[in-house]
């Protein structure tokens, strides 16, 4: 998670794309943005904690569980589910 110019951005690195044998002496990995939101969306409250549950596509038995992210901004808890949410949702 990085914060720049009032925008939070959660980055993802796919370890499956890394190939140390092919690219021995150079950096070839790229971070991908999976979630981006502004301070305004979280009432300008600072990020205190987060929990991320990865999806189940790489498990032996794929239970079709999506990537789920929980973000605690001071006293407010927000969630985001891959493929279902385009923006953060306030958890009641």
Collapsing DSSP to helix, strand or coil, 75 comes out as coil
Report the pLDDT value the prediction gives residue 83, as an integer from 0 to 100: 84
Which residues on adjacent β-strands are paired with residue 89?
79
Give the pLDDT confidence score for residue 46 in this predicted structure: 95
Backbone angles phi, psi at 24, to 5 degrees: -65, -45
- Phi, psi (degrees; rounded to nearest 5) at 34: -110, -20
Range list of H helices, 1-92: none
Residue 73: Cβ-neighbour burial (10 angstroms; 0-12, 13-18, 19+): buried
Is pLDDT at 24 greater than 70 in this prediction?
A: no
Kindly state the tokens that stand for 67: 């990537």
| pLDDT score recorded for residue 59 | 62
Note the pTM of the prediction, 2 decimals.
0.76
Q: Which two tokens stand for residue 76?
A: 């407010």
């Amino acid at each position: 998670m990085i914060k720049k110019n009032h925008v939070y951005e959660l980055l993802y690195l796919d370890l499956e794309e890394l190939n140390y044998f092919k690219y021995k002496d150079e950096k070839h990995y790229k971070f991908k943005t999976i979630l981006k939101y502004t301070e305004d969306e979280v009432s300008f409250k600072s990020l205190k904690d987060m929990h991320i549950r990865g999806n189940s596509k790489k498990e032996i038995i794929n239970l079709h569980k999506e990537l789920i992210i929980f973000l605690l901004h001071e006293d407010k808890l927000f969630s985001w589910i891959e493929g279902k949410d385009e923006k953060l949702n306030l958890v009641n």
